[in-house]
A = this chain, B = another copy of it.
Amino acid sequence: MKVRLVVDGVFEEVEQVTEALHPPESGFYWIDASTEDLQELQHIFNLHDLAVEDCMNEEEQRPKLEIYDAGHYFIVINSIRFDDEEIFLRSLNIFLGRHFIITVTQQKINELRLIKPLLLEEKVNQADRFLYHLIDLVIDNYFTVSDRIEAKIENLEEDILMHTRKSHLNEIIGLRSEILWLKKALGPQKELIATLNRKELRLIDDELQKYFSDIYENSVKISETFDTFRDLMGNLREAYQSSVANRANEIMRVFTAITTIFMPLTVITGIYGMNFDHIPELHMSNGYYFVLGAMVTIGSLMFLLFKKKDWL
């Protein structure tokens, strides 16, 4: 657990977490805690049992804002990470007070590292502005991920239409599952930010409303993008199925056509392999060559006919 006093974006480490109980002369306290620190913090800041329970839960949490009588808000939001194979959501739990903000995470979250230079640049002096920049970072990261998913979908589409491979099925099914799970998380996230975007929240400055409104717009955009992704994945799966069927049909067609072309030739050789006493052709001096020629002719004609009918 790190306790910092932030004044005009400048950080100063604080030894005693209890200092954060009283408003500083200027700036605000940021307590960057892990779930292990929660028990201690619960006593000091009077955190609600249910909020602590949510932070400890190993499961992915539903984004939400809850207003507690103790004078702070409890906010849960999910940070996203995409390692090209799987999409990970990591809960970022925030307790927002008038002059302090507590961030609680189970695993390291990149945005908590990126926020530092940003606060300095923007000379952030208030806990609610800190909240805005943190959530802005979290949401902007969804765009990075959605751009990479979009690129992946487009590559997949091109790839499938050019030369379908069996492994494409795994990719489609896997990516579609990931998108379906993610879509589930985006709905409540949008709702959470809509709540922050309303005027009446006592702990959030009215000046910030336009800024949260900007984030809200982004989170709607992300949600619409993932809806489109789901439909595109359906489109892709159908492209895959058609492509694979087309290719299978074509190969079988070639195989079957070869068999079909050779079939009459087999019968011809069979005819002149029969042991009848009287088969006049057998005794013609060029019979053999005539028959070979006939066979080549018949085979070629069949091949050309199939070609012309566009069956091959």
- A residues near B (Cβ < 8 Å) are 48, 50, 53, 59, 62, 64, 66, 143, 157, 161, 166, 169-170, 173, 176-177, 180-181, 183-184, 187-188, 210-211, 213-214, 217, 220-221, 224-225, 227-228, 231-232, 235-246, 248-249, 251-260, 262-279, 281-283, 285-288, 291-292, 295, 311
- Evaluate contact between B217 and A64: CB separation under 8 angstroms: yes
- Evaluate contact between B275 and A282: CB separation under 8 angstroms: yes
Told that A252-B252, A275-B275 touch, could you supply 18 new A-B pairs with CB distance under 8 A? A66-B210, A161-B170, A161-B173, A169-B239, A173-B235, A173-B236, A180-B235, A183-B228, A188-B220, A237-B238, A238-B241, A244-B245, A251-B253, A253-B255, A262-B267, A263-B266, A265-B270, A271-B295
- Evaluate contact between B232 and A180: CB separation under 8 angstroms: yes
Question: 27 pairs across A/B with beta carbons < 8 Å?
Answer: A59-B143, A62-B221, A173-B239, A240-B242, A244-B246, A245-B245, A252-B253, A252-B256, A255-B256, A255-B257, A262-B266, A266-B267, A266-B270, A269-B273, A269-B274, A270-B270, A271-B292, A271-B295, A272-B275, A273-B274, A274-B275, A274-B288, A275-B275, A276-B281, A276-B291, A277-B283, A279-B288
Question: Once bound together, how far apart are the Cα atoms of A232 and B178, in whole Å?
Answer: 10
How far does the Cβ of A210 sit from chain B's closest Cβ, in whole Å?
6
Q: How many copies does the complex hold?
A: 5
Chain B residues with Cβ below 8 Å from A214 are 50, 53
Chain B residues with Cβ below 8 Å from A231 are 180
Asked if A161 meets B169 with Cβ closer than 8 Å, knowing A267-B266, A282-B277, the reply is yes
Asked if A235 meets B267 with Cβ closer than 8 Å, knowing A240-B242, A252-B253, A275-B272, the reply is no
Question: Once bound together, how far apart are the Cα atoms of A270 and B184, in whole Å?
Answer: 66
Chain B residues with Cβ below 8 Å from A286 are 278
Chain B residues with Cβ below 8 Å from A262 are 263-264, 266-267
Asked if A235 meets B176 with Cβ closer than 8 Å, knowing A249-B248, A266-B266, the reply is yes
- Evaluate contact between A169 and B257: CB separation under 8 angstroms: no
Of the candidates B266, B273, B288, which one forms a contact with A278 in the assembled complex, judged by CB atoms under 8 Å apart? Answer: B288
Question: Once bound together, how far apart are the Cα atoms of A248 and B250, in whole Å?
Answer: 8
- Evaluate contact between A184 and B224: CB separation under 8 angstroms: yes
Question: Once bound together, how far apart are the Cα atoms of A60 and B260, in whole Å?
Answer: 54
